[in-house]
Structure 1
């Protein structure tokens, strides 16, 4: 089964597990890919909307995996029960704020799971939440599709998890440590976007708003250039 670079990066960080849960599964591509690769024994695919679940059911049926995949309707982690014995949870293809809202409601029986997160926006917000809640980022990956970059985070709860610095929160502790081959071009793109937005902000008439946005953009630019010098 062929999947996109983004989904493959997610699947690679899942690695091997016994029971996988894919939250916001859409077409159920990740569970099916991992089942076909023999990386997981069973999967739960859930979504808050019936439309994506119907698409998921069709994909599962087409691949003759009905006995291996449980399709469930529900919000966030609510469809996952204590007797499911899940070891890995994937939350991918959503905004960072949505992912954080889902993580805020982790039930006790899912705290020890390994989480694979792929935020489409607000990546630093997700890392900040993980840091504050003592989830250690154990691995990270970047995937590129055309001109867009996608970051994937693997995290697991650890009571003595090391705290993240500002730079690590922004750009990823593991990505920085291993100097990921796509990290430099991703940061260059962010820097160029920063310069473009800074230029647009100067047209704002409200001086207070302009001053606040300029301060934020200058700080981001300083961090971007500091990382680029190191890379």
Structure 2
């Protein structure tokens, strides 16, 4: 299976860590890429399903990886300093993070939808955002790097990303989101229209904030 730009970026972001726990590992491609590049020393491939875990075992045969059948963190006993949760919905990622341990652990989170909802849940669950990235791999994917900490963000920060909004790479992403909202403006009721106009104004701020 070919490596995608999304997987490549996630793997690159593992640099500087020793052991990565990949929750919902599926094929194990993020761990495989990170280990091939020498970015990490060891991996823990975890999944709630036996079939995806067996696929990961096949792809990672001979690699320094432990395989754990687990619902989120529930069966994880090994030590790790990095957690990867990628390719899931924002709500599911937040649900998994409710059981995240305390400590100096970095989290790489890539929701398939609603990054703004995940940012809000991160604040509620006691996480702060260290960095953010966006990559186009057929679709735009937002990656959030987080750690334990208390912080509050403005509504613009929650929608745009408190770090991402100042990055040039965000401009085409914001432009697409703004255009998508403008397309449906005439098809919604007044209450929804007001919400969409507020979001469009936020994306316009993001386009202005992103550094050239």
**TM-score, scaled to structure 2:** 0.92
1:13 touches 1:139 (CA, 8 Å); kept in 2? no
Secondary structure in 2 matching 1:173:
coil
Secondary structure in 2 matching 1:186:
helix
Verify: 1:128 aligned to 2:120, yes or no. yes
Verify: 1:24 aligned to 2:27, yes or no. no
Q: 1:168: how far off?
A: 1.2
Aligned partners of 1:224, 1:10: CA distance in 2, in Å? Answer: 25
User: Among residues 187, 191, 198, which one is paired with 1:219 in the alignment?
Assistant: 198
User: Among residues 138, 142, 152, which one is paired with 1:163 in the alignment?
Assistant: 152
Q: Unpaired segments of 5 or more residues in structure 1?
A: 202-209
1:89 touches 1:115 (CA, 8 Å); kept in 2? yes
Give the length in aligned residue pairs: 210
Q: 1:132: how far off?
A: 2.5
Secondary structure in 2 matching 1:124:
helix
Change (3 A) 1:230 1:60: closer
**TM-score, scaled to structure 1:** 0.85
Q: 1:211: how far off?
A: 3.1
Q: 1:2: how far off?
A: 5.6
User: Among residues 101, 124, 140, which one is paired with 2:132 in the alignment?
Assistant: 140
Q: 1:190: how far off?
A: 0.5
Secondary structure in 2 matching 1:197:
helix
Following superposition of structure 1 onto structure 2, how do residues 107-118 of structure 1 map, counting pairs within 5 Å?
107-108=101-102, 111-118=103-110
Aligned partners of 1:25, 1:90: CA distance in 2, in Å? Answer: 9
Misfit runs of 4+, over 3 Å: none
Q: 1:200: how far off?
A: 2.5
Q: Unpaired segments of 5 or more residues in structure 2?
A: none
Instruction: Provide the residue aligned with 1:195 in structure 2.
Output: 182
Q: What is the RMSD of the two structures over their aligned residues, measured on CA atoms?
A: 1.7
